[in-house]
Structure 1
Amino acid sequence: MPPAAPLIGAAVAAAGSFAAGAKLFGLGVTATALLKGAVTLALGFVSSALAPKPPRIDFSPAVRNEGRIQQIQQPLTARRIIYGERRVSGPLVYAGTEGNDNRFLHLIIALADHEIEEIGTIYFNDVPIHTDDLDSDGNVVSGDFDGSAQIRKVLGKADQLADPVVLESCPDWTTEHRLRGIAYVFVRLKYDRDVYPTAIPSISAIVKGKKLFDPRDGGTRWSANTALAVRDYLSNGQYGFGAVTAEIDDTLVQAAANVCDEVVQVTPRPATAASVDGSNNWIVLNEELLFLQTGDRVEVSSSGALPGGLAAATDYYVVVVKLEGEPTIRLASSYSSALANNTLPLTSAGSGTLTVTKTGEPRYAVGGAIEVDQNLNQSLEDLLSAMAGRLVHSSGIWKVRAGAYEAPSIALDESDLRGPIRVQTRQPRRERFNAVKGVYASPVNRYVPTDWPGVTNETYRLADGGEKLWRDLDLPFTTRPHSAQRLGKILLERHRQEITLSYPAKLTALPTEAGGTVAISNARLGWVDKPFEVVDWSLVVDDQGDGEESGPILGVDLELRETAPTVYDWANGEETGVDPAPNTLLPNPRRVAPPTGLVVASEQIKTATGDETYRASVSWTPALDLFVTDGGRYEVQWRQSADAEYRPSWFVDGEQTQAAINQLERGVTYDVRVRSVNALGVRSGWVTLFGFTVTSPAGATTQIDYGEFSTAVTQMLDYGEFSTPVTQNLDYGEFA
């Protein structure tokens, strides 16, 4: 039996009665026991989505999600389960160095306590390293960390072996260190003060998480279906409720899964393509940060010809390749194909301006992580919140429903009553709300928790005296902003269906169940098949009283709340636009601008003893970098051109634009170079002036009279071992 509901199991075993427990809209299941006469009943349902939440000690979903993209350094920490797709980090399970000079640092970060589908983009702090930035061995070969890092991705299979690259790099890592069933990344960092100027970066990754069993076809595969994630959590004995298959109503799971996979129409959102790559079958979009997610429905159009393999006015489904930098997508022919990464070939690039327009998205997609030491009910609540879900435990069976209107399964009227009904037509003022807001984490914001666009209803606000009354709805497993708005509207509309009934029914109401829907007809109240949601269900024993017909009578007490199909309706005109998180306006501290316009002039000077020598004055145009010119400095080096090494550096303040080189010899050729150093100590590439000489003024000739320069003076930007030499001739006017 599920560990969270032992009372339910005991009651059913003892009395064979119905037992129901539920919470609506993302709220876990509880159970209490009531005794009436000789019959033991187990009940428990209070829809706290429709009532004030009691205080709780647990951290808010926003706080929990913020921590999940931060690397953890502690000896003991909870294991993690990932559903759908999410950016996560994890505990540092290994750290070591390599080489006598400790030039290389090795880190292993555990991401999930199970096999996962894919580890995608890696983040060093907030800088992405995409899969195509890595070679076959995981070496970073492009971008900010080119040549300074190696990344190995291990997916956590039950039979996985120790990674051979880790074995080669870490002498104390053996073939026994397999980390079976744990998905992790191995990161090898090469020390470079310019690449890692402040500290070891916090490492996180975008992960496609757990593979889920789907009772619709019996397959097990990666999915973002919320209902399947709920089923997995109910059935898992290691970190969930441990329910066996017979204890889960898979017919309802299948119906809920179908609801989650429905595509909801959204306000069309177009983006133009920057390029089409037929060799990789992908499209690069003109976006700073991708607004599309895997599984979104799009149409493709062009002012010229469409890429080969695509057709106009046809639905395609997105597979995200790159979230930012150069946001990149592939296309699939169906939603299921997109989840399986079965994409379409692009046989040509097409012509004209290509436009990709989002037209729809899955109704309820899941994306988040659960810590296994988290309260079971809290975790279940978080999962259910992603689909406005309802969960009931009745007669030993878990019954899952997604947020969609369900037609009444039974009709009741006055003949089904065994006593008077009690009607409440309005919520108390302290419990009312007419607007909903909350926090979620989305790739639109690089998975950093932020507010989703709130929803409000002006009709309800005016009915509440014009005051906007807010209710918080945090959505830790929702990643699409418009999905969050839909969920907020459902909560609001459920709450504003304010008529509630205490309905004492005869045993004719026995087929009803908590979470289902009934149709109520009542002539005095003017109701004909008015739909109500069953909030609570209870089998009761009433005392009949004295007389020949005295004795206990069985009945069913129902707590009902009015509902309607419009509670779940959604028009795309209700959406509020969401702007992606803007790029920072501050300069990237790893990218330091060099000085420009390097020139040298010299003069003949006398020493204290009366000898003559030469001094060169090196000047430059300041770097276009505030962190250099205000708080930084310039490093200057020079050498005789025949020497292999430059002489030791000296520095000048970032506000300065020149430096002097003393005691140069006449007739000797020199090189001089300058680079910027920002306030963090990160250095730019060198700007170098090769092959200048100094002469006395009298020694200058009219043929090549540059002042004190020789011929063939060039300027080169030096990017170290990764440089591509770029030369620039210095123009001295008519002698250029």
Structure 2
Amino acid sequence: MPNITAEVEGKDTISDPRTGTVGYTRNAALVFYDWMLTRREEGGFGCYSDEVDWDWVAAEANVCDELVDTPAGQERRYEFDSYIQTGAAPSEVRDTFVTCCAGRFTYSGGKMLLRTGYYVPPSSTLQEMDLAGPITVPALLEGDQIANEISGSYIEPDKYQPSDVPTRSQYADDVRQASYDLPHITSPYRGQRILEYYLRKSAAERRVTWPMNIMGIAISTLDTVQLATSRYGLNNYAFQVTSWGLNQDFSCGLQLEEHNADMFEFDPDSYLEPGEVGVLDEAEPISDSDEIILDGGDATTEID
């Protein structure tokens, strides 16, 4: 039976809240929210329309459409090119989307919020007088959160197969490796920018547990904050709220991670070209021979 191949066209019913139009797009934020709104039986996440903040979506779509320089010319900052298997777990598919735009995802205030990878300046300062308990600053991160050599894979558009993204690394005596699969990425340059982000994120090791009184209600997950405390030099850094929880006594537990603009900077001169795929030479056919000598001893075999 012959092999059957097909050319699949992309979805052309994706909404863009910036223009009010519907059509085909590769914009990462628009593709993500279209998939979020797609019913689960059709392979989507199945969220409700009132769980999407379209002003938020428009802002994230603008970030994705920013042009960045590459050796092959300019390209959009974040774009998705992929197909989704309907049998995959929705939460796992969602996480691959988030990874492929160096982003963060949370459900906050009844809204599904994806923040793509870019620096957000601090919007508030947390005061010591609003603490509801002692702060915690771990001296070291868990081993699987530290890496100085990041590798990954993307989809080679000419072959429709996974291929290696050039590894991004920082010199260190003790090599710690991590790997990321980027199934929605077809540009090796975009893949390198994403891997470089995760490399720098791993180097930003400061984490803080900040228990607040009821004033913490004004803070939300994904906010960027500064700490008005001289302890451990924490006031010199910005932090992103990665977790927010309300306790029975109306205190709020905040988990903070270091957040800085350097994570998202990328020097165009540091791009690496993907390695070329080797081509095997055609093997020469074995010619008829009266004698074949087995290399490995003195024994010989004669063929009549």
Q: TM-score category by the smaller chain?
A: 0.7 to 0.9
- Larger-gyration structure (1/2): 1
CA distance in 1, matches of 2:243, 2:103: 16
- What's the secondary structure of 2:210's corresponding residue? strand
Contact 1:260 1:365 in 2 (8 A): yes
The aligned length equals 286
Other-structure match for 1:411: 125
Structure 1 position 359 matched with structure 2 position 73: yes
Structure 1 position 559 matched with structure 2 position 247: no
Contact 2:210 2:256 in 1 (8 A): yes
Other-structure match for 2:60: 256
TM-score using structure 2 length: 0.86
Other-structure match for 2:177: 470
TM-score using structure 1 length: 0.37
CA distance in 2, matches of 1:507, 1:530: 24
Structure 1 position 448 matched with structure 2 position 144: no
Other-structure match for 2:209: 502
- Offset of 1:415 from its aligned partner? 2.1
CA distance in 2, matches of 1:579, 1:499: 35
Structure 1 position 573 matched with structure 2 position 287: no
- Offset of 1:517 from its aligned partner? 1.3
Describe the shift of the 1:251–1:584 C-alpha distance in structure 2 as closer, same or farther (beyond 3 A).
farther
Paired residue for 2:69, among 265, 270, 273? 265
CA distance in 2, matches of 1:408, 1:259: 18
- What's the secondary structure of 2:220's corresponding residue? coil
Other-structure match for 1:387: 101
CA distance in 2, matches of 1:240, 1:488: 26
- Offset of 1:509 from its aligned partner? 2.3
Paired residue for 1:457, among 144, 154, 170? 170
CA distance in 2, matches of 1:247, 1:534: 21
CA distance in 1, matches of 2:65, 2:103: 14
Amino acid at match of 2:15: F
Other-structure match for 2:191: 484
- Offset of 1:220 from its aligned partner? 0.9
- Offset of 1:536 from its aligned partner? 0.7
Contact 1:229 1:383 in 2 (8 A): no
Other-structure match for 1:200: 2
Unaligned 5+ residue runs, structure 2? 289-304
Amino acid at match of 1:556: C
Amino acid at match of 2:207: T
Mapping of residues 175-190 of structure 1, within 5 Å: none
- Offset of 1:422 from its aligned partner? 0.8
Contact 1:228 1:257 in 2 (8 A): yes
- Offset of 1:418 from its aligned partner? 2.0
Amino acid at match of 2:229: N
CA distance in 2, matches of 1:534, 1:580: 42
Other-structure match for 1:190: none
Paired residue for 1:398, among 107, 112, 122? 112
Q: What's the C-alpha RMSD, in Å, of the aligned pairs?
A: 2.3
Structure 1 position 240 matched with structure 2 position 44: yes
Mapping of residues 86-97 of structure 1, within 5 Å: none
- Offset of 1:483 from its aligned partner? 0.9
Deviations along 1:42-62, whole A, 9 cap, x unmatched?
xxxxxxxxxxxxxxxxxxxxx
Unaligned 5+ residue runs, structure 1? 1-198, 268-357, 543-553, 588-625, 632-652, 654-736
Mapping of residues 290-689 of structure 1, within 5 Å: 358-429=72-143, 431-443=145-157, 445-458=158-171, 461=172, 466-528=173-235, 530-542=237-249, 554-581=250-277, 585-586=281-282, 630=285
CA distance in 2, matches of 1:578, 1:530: 35
- What's the secondary structure of 1:427's corresponding residue? coil
Describe the shift of the 1:225–1:585 C-alpha distance in structure 2 as closer, same or farther (beyond 3 A).
farther
CA distance in 1, matches of 2:279, 2:29: 35
- Offset of 1:201 from its aligned partner? 3.5
CA distance in 2, matches of 1:233, 1:429: 34
Contact 2:145 2:202 in 1 (8 A): no
Higher strand share: 1
Worse overlay, 427-436 or 401-410: 427-436
- Offset of 1:493 from its aligned partner? 1.5
Deviations along 1:706-731, whole A, 9 cap, x unmatched?
xxxxxxxxxxxxxxxxxxxxxxxxxx
- Offset of 1:430 from its aligned partner? 5.4
Amino acid at match of 1:575: Y
Describe the shift of the 1:575–1:371 C-alpha distance in structure 2 as closer, same or farther (beyond 3 A).
same
Deviations along 1:397-420, whole A, 9 cap, x unmatched?
111210111112221121221221
- Offset of 1:529 from its aligned partner? 6.2
Contact 1:521 1:529 in 2 (8 A): no
- Offset of 1:265 from its aligned partner? 1.4
CA distance in 2, matches of 1:510, 1:265: 41
Describe the shift of the 1:430–1:471 C-alpha distance in structure 2 as closer, same or farther (beyond 3 A).
closer
Contact 1:513 1:537 in 2 (8 A): yes
- Offset of 1:516 from its aligned partner? 2.2
Structure 1 position 224 matched with structure 2 position 34: no
CA distance in 2, matches of 1:584, 1:228: 42
CA distance in 2, matches of 1:504, 1:486: 34
Describe the shift of the 1:210–1:473 C-alpha distance in structure 2 as closer, same or farther (beyond 3 A).
farther
- Offset of 1:210 from its aligned partner? 4.5
Amino acid at match of 2:167: G
Describe the shift of the 1:448–1:430 C-alpha distance in structure 2 as closer, same or farther (beyond 3 A).
closer
- What's the secondary structure of 2:161's corresponding residue? coil
Structure 1 position 215 matched with structure 2 position 25: no
CA distance in 2, matches of 1:431, 1:401: 21
Amino acid at match of 2:124: I
Contact 2:98 2:114 in 1 (8 A): no
- What's the secondary structure of 1:476's corresponding residue? coil
